[in-house]
Amino acid sequence: MTHRDEYRSRLRTADQAVQGLQSGAHIAMGMATAEPPALLGALAKMAEHGDVDDLKLWYFHSMDHAGDTVLRPDLLGHIRPRCMFLSSIERKLLAAQKAGEKSPIGFVPVAFSDSPRLFEEQVSLDLFVTTVSPMDKHGWFTFGTSNDYSTTAARSAKKLVVEVNPNMPRVFGASLLHISEIDAIVENTAPLAEVYAPETCEAEAKVAATIADMIDDGACLQMGIGALPGAVCALLQDRRDLGIHTELMTPALAGLIQCGAVTNQAKTTYRGRSVFTFAMGDRAFYDFLDDNPAIHSAPVNIVNDPRHIAKNKNVVSVNATLQIDLGGACNSEHMLGRQYSGSGGQLDFVRGANASRGGKSIIACQSTARNGTVSRIVPRLDGPVTTPRNDTHIVVTEYGWVDLKGKSLNQRADALIGLAHPKFRDGLANGL
């Protein structure tokens, strides 16, 4: 049987591909742009018709395809999310929750780097569904924009169903999946979800300029999500021999590759290649990733392993936070009494950059929130500690920056108060 024959023998409609799923099953889906819309629609239909109940759905970072199907409010009694990182989809569901009601979202605290191990050792998956790039003549697909935990979940689940989409870029690296590993195939040509960075405000522009001044030629970059990392990248186009080893690949980082600022020649690991574990952007960005040998995809337990990150010199990790207390501890995931996002890979890269020779771990935020009415620098955090004070290195706001390493608690408090908005400084100094 040829690879093409094998492909045809596994080809199903979305409804056929998920037949046989039992109530109470544990399922997982590819995250972000790898969400498989046809398969998620088929699962939602099964729940809506009462064919299955009490499905446990495991995932990181949902987007609109999931929000329109398996995460519909009317299905939450039948499909029970086991979410490891909240997005706007879950935040809307939580906002609609009535007082006294049990949360519709089962949030699972876990470091992004540990999620593959979760599927190997703690969760017995009955089904994994994800979007992949088309098969080549040798019988190989790739996981495209979503390596992360997908490569592990796909091989740990009792059943693997993939949605083959020609819009999914074919990527190089440890991202291959063979036809022999797949139980069923569904074809779909739905456009990939596109993500655009929001515009940068004046305060973020000041923060970005401060951070850019800290990044020298030859630095190895990890950038988080949002407007700020994009603003930093826009200021680095005159640098030379930058490298990329990042959790998230974005159009802003791709722009540094395209302009020649990134060569990856100063890196120790994967020299000459930009390393990532998942990617989000626009169509032009996905086209850039497609069949590009300078881009290397790897599982998150490799990309986000602090020991692996630290093998490179001069790692610069840039991440945002919601709150910083006067000792330097950061809450980057909890707001207004609710879980807002998740720990993701922030601590992984904070520790990796700290352990890198010449590395810099940068935590950045505007000094205030809610239109200037709330200070992000606080005496005590309102939520969990995402980055412990022992690990926090450099903190940046629009009022400057401070290196917390080696400073006493009193020195830290004085320095962080100096980064707060002036109208909150006296209150912070008085412990208010």
**Residue positions annotated with a catalytic role:** 247
CA distance 274 to 356: 18
Is residue 205 within 8 A of residue 181, CB to CB? The reply is no
Can you state the percent helix, strand and coil of the chain, rounding each to 5?
Answer: 30, 20, 45
User: Dmax over Cα atoms in the chain, in whole Å?
Assistant: 76
CA distance 76 to 98: 14
SS (H, E, C) 368-421: EECCCCEECEECCCCCCCCECCCCCCEEEECCEEEECCCCCHHHHHHHHHCCCC
Is residue 217 within 8 A of residue 358, CB to CB? The reply is no
- 104-107 long-range contacts (CB < 8 A, ≥24 apart) are 104/73, 104/76, 105/81, 105/339, 106/80, 106/81, 106/82, 107/83, 107/339, 107/342
Quote the DSSP letter at residue 242: B
